[in-house]
Amino acid sequence: MSQRTLHTLFTLTSVAIIGASNTKKRAGNIVMKNLLAGEFAGPIMPVTPKYKAVMGVLAYPNIEALPLIPDLAMICTAAHHVPAIVETLAQFGCKFAIVLASGMTAQSQHEGSTLLELTKQHANRYGMRILGPNSLGMMLPNLGLNASLAHTRALPGKIAFVSQSAAICTTVLDWANNKGIGFSSFISLGDTSDIDFDELLDYLGRDSKTSAILLYIDAVNDKRHFISAARAAAKNKPILVIKSGRTHQSANTIQLHPHMLVGNDAVYEAAFRRAGMLRVNDLIELFAAVETLVHSSALQGERLAIISNGTGPAELALDQLILGGGKSAIIDVDTLTQLDALLPSTWSRKNPINIGGDAHSARYTQTLKILMDCDAADAILVIHSPSALEDSLDIARSLATMVCTHPKRKKINILTNWSGEDSAYLARKHFNKAGISTYRTHEGAVGAFMHMVEYRRNQKLLQEVPQSIPDNIPTNVEQARHALSQAHKNGKRMLDTHESIDILSAYGLKTIATYAVETPEDAVKVANKIGYPVAIKVQSPDINHKSDVHGVMLNLSNKDEVYQAAIAINSRVLAHHPTAKIERLVVQKMALTAGAQEIRVAVVNDPVFGPAILLGEGGSQWDPCRDAVVALPPLNMALARYMVIQALKTNKLKDRHLPLGLDMNALCVMLTQISHLVIDCPKIATLDLNPVLCAGHHITLLDVNIQLHETEIDNGARLAISPYPKELEQQTTLKNGRPVMLRPILPEDEPKHLIFDNSLSDEDRYKRYFGVRSKMTHEEMAVLTQIDYAREMAFVAIAKDDNGDELTLGAIRASIDPNNIEAEFAMAVRSDHQGQGLGKLLLEKLISYYKENNTLSLTGLTLFENRNMANLAKKLGFIVTFDREERLIKMDMQLNDPH
């Protein structure tokens, strides 16, 4: 759905209630009551043949009798009536309907389809959109609209809330109303049969009335659209997500819901992190995070100072901060001197700042003002424990007055924790009204601060410039695909180490000398050939973990040991697993493990998000949710580094500080090459590298298991994130004979792109940016180079300079609306390389790309002064028009037939 269509849903001017009722506790009665109790200015039109009027409002006997086409229809009837109602509404011209009924997956008595299938067929035929079924409805407080079954209405505010669970909706609503927190929109998705998270994220990410987005998710239906929409929205505003199904039992419950695929929770975590969203684990964390979002500004740094009238709570807060990876503020000498003059001689003289159990409002206020005046902290937590010496509300009032008038109010985040119940309640209420974050416990306050820190870190990490993979690391796509095709033709669906060597070596992944043999005699021959010591392992499609069935023997140092081991392995494996098919024995040169560390890397095929890369330590009882960090391909060196850091930080990977142990660069290269392998070779279903031997910059895959898909897989559909489209690379030549490569932009291009942007003349910069502008910042350049290929495209022209280094000569980019209707382009060519036909080459490549992409039209704007651009566009088939009032030239090209 395009932004233009969705815009209508959020700017409603009329509502019809199908099945409106005067009978209490009926859905049609509750919806009518909620709509009438609000301040919605448009017509509210009940439709029912039973009553002349509903709650005093003239009713209409049927949909056709309505005096106008409603923007929204609330369908409050039983499930079996819904398909026919939707068909009539859609024919009447209504474009949106909210279906409250559950049980829509029941079979229709006549057509043989389910009620939901029939409803969707009717809606699709006429271009009608459905929210639900099983939806609680929606609220748009800025319009005074409460089109829902909720027990209370939402207050107006700047947060959007979207949930698949109606029960979570009402819980959040209760809490928010108690806190005085409001919403820009409050939407219950229900079973997400049509309108889903991705479309709402696209709208809300651009909505000026929304400053933050909260999501409650049971399951994601469309991975590619969801991640693309979330990545786009998260660049503009924070997105908090809470998801059920963290345990296997909970996930199995979700699986009972219709149309919901349930994936691995660790993979969901990776998807949220990759999109730049912040996940919270429960409603308590969500409420704390919302409190912070409503009342805080973006963190300038990560230093937290703590002020308290007691030692215990402050030290507990500091412990939680440090254990959570936070940074304690360090009080400088000048600030210490000021505090010495104010506080009792017994004060702590460090952070946390204990201002004494007898602290009154003036001492609290002056201490906080000193800290806000200096540059010691980016956020300050003020803790107050109940005291008979001073009224807690008076202290809160004094603090709130000072904070709200302080010039650094928007630069330093203030969090408060007024402990206790009755004595602290009014103080917390006062902080809420003053727009200052307040929490019942110090745990909640520190936890909320760490959410802000984590969000800041995630955004910074996603903007990191990745280093390039070293040139000497091979990437031979054809070699790997040929080896996989041969295996597939030979009927192989499981490949062991010796069968994977050609595939892995094509990507610079090293294995150890490995051979498959049929008999103990053959095992001896191979061992003599490759040299002792060796290992012998069983090869069986029925055995995933060889050590569990005693199918591995290590450090065999002579031919007799090899011979006896080969005989023993066969008998022991069959004793543990009598039905196992033993194909062969594998003889492998023993790796030199002294001073090295073993880890485990795997690729799983998640039912929701497709291929996912796992990193952790080995073990036959490996549980990805518990024992591994997960990332979605494609990975580059920066994302791989982020993955390793996450693994170390969460103890999924332990750096044992061995002499030849973990080398960050080598690990990142390996993970990035595995990502390339998985992307380039869709025949690979799963990959298990266990163990992987890390010996400094030497990484060796000791045991490999590759599982192939039974049938051909659509590579585009299986990946959650669009990979770099290498097939779009094109070698060409300029008029002066200089060779250039036209290719999609990469995150690694940021340094070259900055040089390119700075090389533009003042006149070219003026034409490119429609005015004078300063040099690009890193954050701005990261947006230009780290693009989502599913949403936008940028081609760069790369040439080699005299030293053999790559140089960017030109760039063209276009972003597209979520419905793939219109792409808008902009282009720039290096000032000293104009007149060589580069602009024509770039624009032709962009036109070709969007034609293949089935985009309907390509448009661009340029200044009156840029007549060369207009002339080029006209030659290539654009319709060029001039806006003399705005002094702009508009270029339009129809690329594909909308029908």
497: domain CATH number is: 3.30.470.20
Does residue 606 sit in the same domain as residue 556? no
The whole-number pLDDT of residue 884 equals 87
The whole-number pLDDT of residue 27 equals 97
Percent of the chain with pLDDT over 70: 96
Does residue 548 sit in the same domain as residue 574? yes
Domain membership flag for residue 1:
yes
25 Cβ contact list (under 8 Å, min separation 6): none
Q: Name residue 53's beta-bridge partners.
A: 58
Question: Is 226:200 a contact under the CB 8 Å cutoff?
Answer: no
Last residue of a domain, one of 248, 280, 312: 280
Q: Is the pLDDT of residue 245 over 80?
A: no
The whole-number pLDDT of residue 7 equals 87
Higher per-residue confidence, 643 vs 570: 643
Greatest alpha-carbon span in the chain: 98
Using alpha carbons, select from 205, 218, 202, 102 the residue that is nearest to residue 163: 218
pLDDT in tens, 407-444: 999 999 999 999 887 779 899 999 988 989 999 999 99
27: domain CATH number is: 3.40.50.720
Using alpha carbons, select from 196, 236, 235 the residue that is nearest to residue 215: 196
Does residue 57 sit in the same domain as residue 200? no
Beta strands in 696-726 (DSSP E): 698-701, 704-708
The burial of 232, by beta-carbon neighbours within 10 Å (0-12 exposed, 13-18 middle, 19 or more buried), is given as buried
Domain membership flag for residue 146:
no
Question: pTM for the whole thing?
Answer: 0.88
Does residue 695 sit in the same domain as residue 611? yes
Helix or strand or coil: residue 217? strand
In angstroms, the Cα distances linking 701 to 334, 614, 672, 760 are 56, 15, 15, 48
The whole-number pLDDT of residue 132 equals 94
pLDDT in tens, 173-202: 998 998 888 999 999 999 999 999 999 999
Domain membership flag for residue 342:
yes
134 Cβ contact list (under 8 Å, min separation 6): 99, 100, 101, 102, 104, 166, 190, 191
pLDDT in tens, 610-641: 999 999 997 767 887 789 999 999 999 999 99
The whole-number pLDDT of residue 253 equals 45
Tokens of 346: 């017994």
Does residue 401 sit in the same domain as residue 523? no
The whole-number pLDDT of residue 772 equals 72
Least confident residue range of 106-115, 410-419, 634-643, 799-808: 106-115
743: domain CATH number is: 3.40.630.30
Higher per-residue confidence, 659 vs 323: 323
The whole-number pLDDT of residue 544 equals 67
Does residue 90 sit in the same domain as residue 100? yes
For tokens 């998710």, name the residue. 217
Phi, psi of 243 (to 5 degrees): -130, 135
pLDDT in tens, 857-867: 999 999 988 88
Higher per-residue confidence, 80 vs 717: 80
Bond into 133 cis (ω within 30): yes
Does residue 507 sit in the same domain as residue 599? yes
Beta strands in 497-583 (DSSP E): 510-511, 514-517, 534-539, 552-556
pLDDT in tens, 378-415: 999 999 998 877 788 999 999 999 999 999 999 999 99
User: Burial letters for 147-170: b for 16+ Cβ neighbours within 10 Å, e otherwise?
Assistant: bbbbeebbbbbbbbbbbbbbebbb
Which amino acid appears at position 627 of this protein? D
Q: Is the pLDDT of residue 286 over 90?
A: no
How far apart (Å, rounded) are the C-alpha atoms in residues 833 and 764? 12
Does residue 643 sit in the same domain as residue 495? yes
Q: Is the pLDDT of residue 566 over 50?
A: yes
The whole-number pLDDT of residue 3 equals 42
575 Cβ contact list (under 8 Å, min separation 6): none
Q: Is the pLDDT of residue 294 over 90?
A: no
Last residue of a domain, one of 462, 492, 522: 462
Question: Is 651:628 a contact under the CB 8 Å cutoff?
Answer: no
Question: Is 738:526 a contact under the CB 8 Å cutoff?
Answer: no
Between helix 361-373 and helix 333-342 the angle, nearest 10°, is 170
Q: Is the pLDDT of residue 236 over 90?
A: no
How far apart (Å, rounded) are the C-alpha atoms in residues 304 and 447? 12
Q: Is the pLDDT of residue 762 over 80?
A: yes
Mean per-residue pLDDT, 143-152: 96
Phi, psi of 581 (to 5 degrees): -90, 110
Does residue 77 sit in the same domain as residue 50? yes
The burial of 656, by beta-carbon neighbours within 10 Å (0-12 exposed, 13-18 middle, 19 or more buried), is given as exposed
763 Cβ contact list (under 8 Å, min separation 6): none
In angstroms, the Cα distances linking 42 to 39, 66, 71, 524 are 9, 14, 10, 88
Domain membership flag for residue 288:
no
542: domain CATH number is: 3.30.1490.20
The whole-number pLDDT of residue 467 equals 81
For tokens 């600030």, name the residue. 335
The helix/strand count (H/E) of the chain reads as 29, 40
The burial of 779, by beta-carbon neighbours within 10 Å (0-12 exposed, 13-18 middle, 19 or more buried), is given as exposed
Domain membership flag for residue 399:
yes
Domain membership flag for residue 139:
no
Return the number of other C-beta atoms located less than 10 Å from residue 421's C-beta.
8
Higher per-residue confidence, 668 vs 423: 668
Does residue 714 sit in the same domain as residue 747? no
166: domain CATH number is: 3.40.50.261
Helix or strand or coil: residue 808? strand
Mean per-residue pLDDT, 268-280: 92
Strands 353-354 and 303-308: parallel
Between helix 283-295 and helix 442-462 the angle, nearest 10°, is 70
Q: Is the pLDDT of residue 534 over 60?
A: yes
Q: Is the pLDDT of residue 883 over 50?
A: yes
Domain membership flag for residue 664:
yes
Helix or strand or coil: residue 502? helix
For tokens 């969203």, name the residue. 277
Question: Is 810:842 a contact under the CB 8 Å cutoff?
Answer: yes
Domain membership flag for residue 142:
no
pLDDT in tens, 577-597: 787 788 889 898 888 777 889
Could you please report the per-residue DSSP string of 333-350? Answer: HHHHHHHHHHS-TTS-SS
Q: Tabulate helix, strand, coil % of the chain (nearest 5).
A: 40, 25, 35
Does residue 445 sit in the same domain as residue 303? yes
Strands 437-439 and 303-308: unpaired
Last residue of a domain, one of 421, 441, 462: 462
Could you please report the per-residue DSSP string of 850-861? Answer: HHHTT-SEEEEE
Mean of the per-residue pLDDT values of the chain: 90
Total domains in the fold of the chain:
6
pLDDT in tens, 535-559: 998 888 777 667 767 788 989 999 9
Using alpha carbons, select from 211, 220, 207 the residue that is nearest to residue 3: 207
Mean per-residue pLDDT, 847-873: 93
In angstroms, the Cα distances linking 276 to 182, 286, 416, 423 are 24, 17, 27, 39
Does residue 694 sit in the same domain as residue 557? no
Mean per-residue pLDDT, 48-57: 97
Question: Is 745:788 a contact under the CB 8 Å cutoff?
Answer: no
Domain assignment of residue 829, given as a range: 726-894
Using alpha carbons, select from 793, 781, 854 the residue that is nearest to residue 825: 793
Residue 288 pLDDT level (bands cut at 50, 70, 90)? confident
In angstroms, the Cα distances linking 40 to 12, 15, 73, 89, 147 are 9, 10, 15, 22, 10
